[in-house]
Amino acid sequence: MPSSVQSSCESQFGAAKADGGGPVLHASENSEQFHRLQNLFDKSFKAARVGIWECTLPDETLTWTDTVYELFELEPRSALVREATVALYMPESRRKLTEVRSAAIRDGDGFTLDAQIVTAKGNLKWIRITAIVERHDGQPVRIFGMKQDITAEKTLFEQIRRLAETDPVTGLASRTKFDTAFDEAVTASATVQKALLLIDLDSFKAVNDRLGHQAGDECLRDAGRRICEATPDASAIARLSGDEFAIILDCESLESLDAAARRVAGKLEWWVGSYPDKLKVSASVGAAMILPGMAAKDIFAEADRALYAVKAKGKHNLGLSVEPVRVASVA
């Protein structure tokens, strides 16, 4: 590694090894402890998939340790051209890198950024970039730091996120995902007219009690499939809890909302089980327009009141039980 990188990394990471390894500790030459600790640091940096990089300014000459070459799946010690390496970043990551890098060089000390790349061999990876800007007389002369492979960390996070946002029984959006989508729909209501539909399966408890929970889960999955078929253009379809579902969809008028609500209720009328334990499932639907100026909680409450007005009328044992659409009004 060039001495400029080594001297700069000493204060941050220790002295950088010339063959591209991790930091080492200063100690007496030929010291047994020195070599033991050096070997330990080398192995630790290698295991952590951390490499050191440098870019001189303003000529933007790059210098990488071997680990950075490995991250990008490039031949170690091959010639580096910054334009070519930046081209390996995914478009959004490239945009963010350009933004934070320019800001740091202009008037900052450095930055940390998680970025997605496509390696020279075509593999997707996530890397964490840590950068420090060095200045002489106030002028940036180089930027350097570390790059670490965080693909496993990002993959685990994405798996956890998907689990949190997906209902495990139906595969629809979870309540958490619905809340986010609903807030976004309310915010966008000034430009795009949308509506909220709340659905309650009328005979679901009987399915669970008489046919068992396995049949109940299958009933929920079937309900989710039927709702998707009835509203293929919905912005979001979620299972809120138990046998309650929600739909957010574009809706230009009360007539179209009424038609959508009735279409959903009609689709949610079917038989489950077999004789003598054959049960009819139906649904109650309440709906409200998502109007500008209304809070999300008030819109939800309006649709909820419409839904339970249906239930209160005792229609839950009938096939089609759709309350005439109630529309929230701005106070």
Q: What is the tens place of the pLDDT at every residue in 218-240?
A: 999 999 999 999 999 999 999 99
Q: What is the pLDDT of residue 203?
A: 82
- The model's confidence at residue 313, banded by pLDDT at 50, 70 and 90, is confident
E strand or H helix at 282: none
Q: For residue 154, is pLDDT > 90?
A: yes
Q: Residue 56: what pLDDT?
A: 96
pLDDT mean over 23-28: 47
Of 79-88, 159-168, 179-188, 309-318, the least confident: 309-318
Q: What is the pLDDT of residue 191?
A: 81
Q: In this predicted model, what pLDDT tens digit does every residue of 169-194 receive, in sequence order?
A: 999 999 999 999 999 999 987 788 89
Q: What is the mean pLDDT of the chain?
A: 84
Split at pLDDT 50, 70, 90, the class of 310 is: confident
Mean pLDDT across 142-155: 94
Name the least confident of 8-12, 31-35, 276-280: 8-12
**pTM of the full structure:** 0.63
Q: Which domains does the chain have, with CATH numbers?
A: 3-155 (3.30.450.20), 166-322 (3.30.70.270)
> 38 pLDDT band (50/70/90 cuts)?
low
Percent of the chain scored above 90 by pLDDT?
58
pLDDT at 14 exceeding the cut of 70: no
Buried b (16+ CB within 10 A) or exposed e, 178-189: bbebbeebbeeb
Q: How many CA atoms lie less than 13 Å away from 252 in the CB half-sphere? A: 0
Compute the average pLDDT of residues 301-312: 87
**Confidence tier at 9 by pLDDT (50, 70, 90):** very low
- pLDDT value of residue 30: 55
Q: Is pLDDT above 90 for 6?
A: no
pLDDT at 98 over 80: yes
Alpha helix positions (H), the chain: 3-13, 32-47, 66-71, 82-86, 91-107, 151-165, 175-187, 204-211, 213-230, 254-267, 296-312
pLDDT at res. 328: 37
Confidence band of 252 (pLDDT split at 50, 70, 90): confident
- Distance, in Å, from the CA atom of 184 to the CA atom of 44, rounded to the nearest integer, reads 44
Measure the CA angle with vertex 287, ends 235 and 232; round to 5°: 30
Residue 318 scores a pLDDT above 50: no
Paired tokens of 205: 């408890």
* pLDDT surpasses 70 at 303: yes
